[in-house]
C-alpha cells in the first residue's frame, strides 16, 4: 500500500495539537549511522588522487567535525533537516584515466571511491534507456528513509525530498564550477535499476545524472545485481513511507544554478544560521535575493520582517502588496522557533502541486538561496518545521518549505 499526494500531505501535517502531544525526547544514542560503509575488502581510492573528479568530491563532503557528548558530530556541505543526512551517492565510471571502470560508492566519511564491481561492455546504461556506453560518470543519488524517519516519522517524506533537492543543487553547482554539464537520464521505472544496484528495502535510487558523453560503442545490460549492503547499522522500516517512495518516478531535471567563481569557498564555509543581526543586512541584498528565480512549479512569497528603508510586509514580484509587520505571525507559523524573529526576510515556498518533485525543486531553489547568501555574507536557514494550515493564510497552494534570511551575527 502507498499514499497518493493528497494522503501524503494529510498524513504529514504539523498541527499545534500534534506538536503539543509530542512530549517524548529522542535518544541520540540510538541514531542510525549517517554513512554507508561497503566491506573492507572492497578496493578503495582517495578522491583527492583523481583531480578530474574534484567536482564529485565537492558535491558531498564533510565541512565541520566536532565532538558532541563524546561522539563525533559531522556537518556536510549540504544542509539537511535535523542534520540526518539521508542521501548516498553512487557513480558508474567508464574510461577515466587512472580508474578501473566500475560501479563505485562515494564514501563521504573517508572521501574515497569504493569499488562495488568492475564493469566492461555491460553496465547500467540499458537501465537508463541508453543503447551506447556512457563515457565518464553516471551519478546516482539515493535516499535512506530510516535516517530521517527515525526522528520525524512520516513527515520525513517531505524532508527526504527537500534534502535531495539541496543535494542536486550542490551537484549542479559543482559540475558547472568545473566547466562541465549534467546530462539528463531517463528510465521507465526505477525498480530494475535499484535491483541491479543492490538496493534493498531501506534505500532507493531516486535521481540520476550523467557527467560525460555518449560513446559510439554499444552497451550491454549488467544482469547480475551487485552486492547488497545495509545503509544504516540497524533499521526499523516504515513500510508506508518506503512503499510511497518506491512508486515515485526518477527525478532528472537539471537545476538552473549559476556558475560561481567562489563556489569552492562558499561550499566549504556555508552553515545554517542559528541567529541573526538584522541591522547587518543591506536592502540591496534583500532585493537581489528576491530576484532569484524558482522553478515554475513553485510560488515564492517573501515576507519582509526587518529592513533599513524598504516597506515591511508581503511581496509579490518584487512589490510590497500587503504592508505590515508580520513578525509574530511568521515566527508562530514556523513552530515558534524564536531565532527567526531576528531575521530580515522569510521566503515562503509554496507549490502548485503537493508532490515529491515539487519538494525536490523547493530544495534546489533553497540551495541556490544558501549559496547566494553565503556569497553576500548573509545568514540563512532552511525551515521545514511549520504549521501547514497556518501557512494557507498567504496562498491557496500548499506550503512546502521556508528559508529565514538575515544579517550574520
Ligand atoms: C529540509 C530542511 C529543513 C530544515 N528545517 C530546519 C528548521 O525547521 N529549523 C532549523 O533551525 N533548521 C532547519 N534546517 C537546518 C538544519 O538544521 C541544518 O542544515 C543542519 O543542522 C546542518 O547544519 P548546517 O546546515 O549548518 O550544515 C533545515 C534544513 C533542511 C535542509
For residue 98, give the H/E element and its range: none
| Mean pLDDT along residues 282-295 | 97
d(CA 174, CA 168) in angstroms, rounded, equals 10
d(CA 348, CA 395) in angstroms, rounded, equals 10
| Residues whose CB falls within 8 Å of the CB of residue 10, separated by 6 or more in sequence, listed in order | none
pLDDT surpasses 60 at 326? yes
Give yes or no for residue 81 CB within 6 A of ligand 1: yes
Q: Ligand 1 center to residue 73 CA distance, Å?
A: 15
Number of neighbours of residue 46 by Cβ within 10 angstroms: 12
Give yes or no for residue 230 CB within 6 A of ligand 1: no
Among protein residues, the one with the nearest Cα to ligand 1's atom 28 is 81
Give yes or no for residue 83 CB within 6 A of ligand 1: yes
For residue 397, what pLDDT is reported?
Answer: 97
d(CA 217, CA 134) in angstroms, rounded, equals 9
For residue 37, what pLDDT is reported?
Answer: 98
pLDDT surpasses 80 at 179? yes
Q: What is the pLDDT of residues 381-409, one digit of tens each?
A: 999 999 999 999 999 999 999 999 999 99
Q: What is the pLDDT of residues 242-267, one digit of tens each?
A: 999 999 999 999 998 889 999 999 99
What domains does the chain contain, in order, with CATH numbers? Answer: 27-246 (3.40.109.10), 271-407 (3.40.109.10)
Rg (CA), the chain: 21
Q: Ligand 1 center to residue 85 CA distance, Å?
A: 10
Q: What is the pLDDT of residues 194-245, one digit of tens each?
A: 999 999 999 999 999 999 999 999 999 999 999 999 999 999 978 999 999 9
Q: Ligand 1 center to residue 270 CA distance, Å?
A: 12
Closest-lying ligand 1 atom to the alpha carbon of residue 166: 31
Confidence of residue 66 (pLDDT cuts 50, 70, 90): very high
| Mean pLDDT along residues 18-45 | 86
| Cα 383 → chain centroid | 13
Q: What is the pLDDT of residues 134-156, one digit of tens each?
A: 999 999 999 999 999 999 999 99
Confidence of residue 9 (pLDDT cuts 50, 70, 90): confident
Among protein residues, the one with the nearest Cα to ligand 1's atom 12 is 383
For residue 2, what pLDDT is reported?
Answer: 79
The tally of CA atoms less than 13 A away on the side-chain side of residue 178 is 20
Mutate to test the pocket of ligand 1, among 12, 66, 80 (most ligand atoms within 8 A of CB): 80
d(CA 374, CA 382) in angstroms, rounded, equals 13
Among protein residues, the one with the nearest Cα to ligand 1's atom 1 is 81
Q: Ligand 1 center to residue 14 CA distance, Å?
A: 17
Phi-psi region of 179 (alpha: psi -120 to 50; beta: other; left: phi over 0): left
pLDDT surpasses 60 at 36? yes
Q: What is the pLDDT of residues 105-120, one digit of tens each?
A: 999 999 999 999 999 9
| Mean pLDDT along residues 340-348 | 98
For residue 11, what pLDDT is reported?
Answer: 84
For residue 23, what pLDDT is reported?
Answer: 55
Q: What is the DSSP letter of 329?
A: H
Q: In this structure, what C-alpha cell is assigned to residue 209?
A: 545524472
| Residues whose CB falls within 8 Å of the CB of residue 242, separated by 6 or more in sequence, listed in order | 145, 201, 202, 204
Q: What is the pLDDT of residues 375-384, one digit of tens each?
A: 999 999 999 9
Specify burial of residue 273 (Cβ count, 10 A radius: 0-12, 13-18, 19+).
Answer: buried
For residue 25, what pLDDT is reported?
Answer: 64
Q: In this structure, what C-alpha cell is assigned to residue 312?
A: 515591511
Average pLDDT, the chain: 95
Give yes or no for residue 75 CB within 6 A of ligand 1: yes
Nearest Cα to Cα of residue 172 among 299, 60, 81, 96: 60
For residue 24, what pLDDT is reported?
Answer: 59
Confidence of residue 3 (pLDDT cuts 50, 70, 90): confident
Amino acid at each position: 500500500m502507498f499514499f497518493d499526494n493528497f494522503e501524503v500531505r494529510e498524513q504529514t501535517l504539523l498541527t499545534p495539537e500534534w506538536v503539543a502531544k509530542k512530549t517524548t525526547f529522542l535518544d541520540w544514542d540510538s541514531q542510525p549511522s549517517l554513512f554507508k560503509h561497503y566491506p573492507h575488502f572492497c578496493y578503495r581510492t582517495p578522491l583527492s588522487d583523481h583531480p578530474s573528479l574534484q567536482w564529485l568530491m565537492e558535491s558531498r563532503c564533510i565541512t565541520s567535525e566536532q565532538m558532541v557528548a563524546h561522539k563525533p558530530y559531522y556537518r556536510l556541505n549540504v544542509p539537511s533537516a535535523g542534520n540526518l543526512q539521508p542521501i548516498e551517492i553512487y557513480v558508474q565510471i567508464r574510461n577515466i584515466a587512472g580508474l578501473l571502470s566500475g560501479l563505485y560508492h562515494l564514501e563521504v566519511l573517508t572521501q574515497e571511491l569504493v569499488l562495488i564491481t568492475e564493469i566492461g561492455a555491460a553496465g547500467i546504461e540499458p537501465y537508463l534507456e541508453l543503447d551506447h556506453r556512457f563515457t565518464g560518470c553516471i551519478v546516482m543519488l539515493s535516499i535512506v528513509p530510516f535516517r530521517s524517519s527515525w526522528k520525524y516519522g512520516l513527515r520525513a517524506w517531505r524532508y527526504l525530498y527537500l534534502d535531495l533537492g539541496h543535494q542536486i543543487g550542490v551537484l549542479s553547482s559543482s559540475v558547472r564550477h568545473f566547466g562541465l554539464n549534467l546530462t539528463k537520464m531517463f528510465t521507465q521505472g526505477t525498480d530494475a535499476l535499484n535491483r541491479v544496484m543492490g538496493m534493498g528495502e531501506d534505500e532507493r535510487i531516486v535521481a540520476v545524472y550523467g557527467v560525460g558523453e555518449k560513446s559510439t560503442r554499444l552497451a550491454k545490460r549488467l544482469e547480475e545485481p551487485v552486492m547488497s549492503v545495509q545503509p544504516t547499522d540497524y533499521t526499523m522500516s516504515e513500510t508506508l513511507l518506503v512503499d510511497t517512495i518506491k512508486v515515485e518516478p526518477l527525478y532528472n531535471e537539471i537545476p538552473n544554478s549559476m556558475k560561481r567563481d567562489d563556489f569552492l569557498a562558499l561550499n566549504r564555509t556555508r552553515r545554517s544560521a542559528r541567529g541573526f543581526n538584522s541591522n547587518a543586512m543591506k536592502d540591496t541584498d534583500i532585493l537581489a535575493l528576491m530576484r532569484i528565480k524558482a522553478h515554475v512549479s513553485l510560488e515564492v512569497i517573501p515576507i519582509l520582517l526587518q529592513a533599513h528603508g524598504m516597506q515591511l510586509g508581503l511581496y509579490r514580484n518584487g512589490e510590497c502588496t500587503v504592508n505590515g509587520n508580520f513578525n509574530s505571525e511568521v515566527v508562530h507559523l514556523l513552530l515558534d522557533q524564536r531565532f527567526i524573529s531576528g531575521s530580515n526576510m522569510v521566503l515562503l515556498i509554496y507549490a502548485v502541486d503537493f508532490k515529491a518533485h515539487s519538494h525536490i525543486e523547493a530544495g534546489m531553489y533553497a540551495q541556490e538561496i544558501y549559496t547566494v547568501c553565503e556569497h553576500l555574507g548573509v545568514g540563512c536557514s532552511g525551515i521545514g518545521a511549520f504549521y501547514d494550515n497556518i501557512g494557507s493564510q498567504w496562498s491557496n497552494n500548499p506550503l512546502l518549505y521556508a528559508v529565514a534570511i538575515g544579517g550574520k551575527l
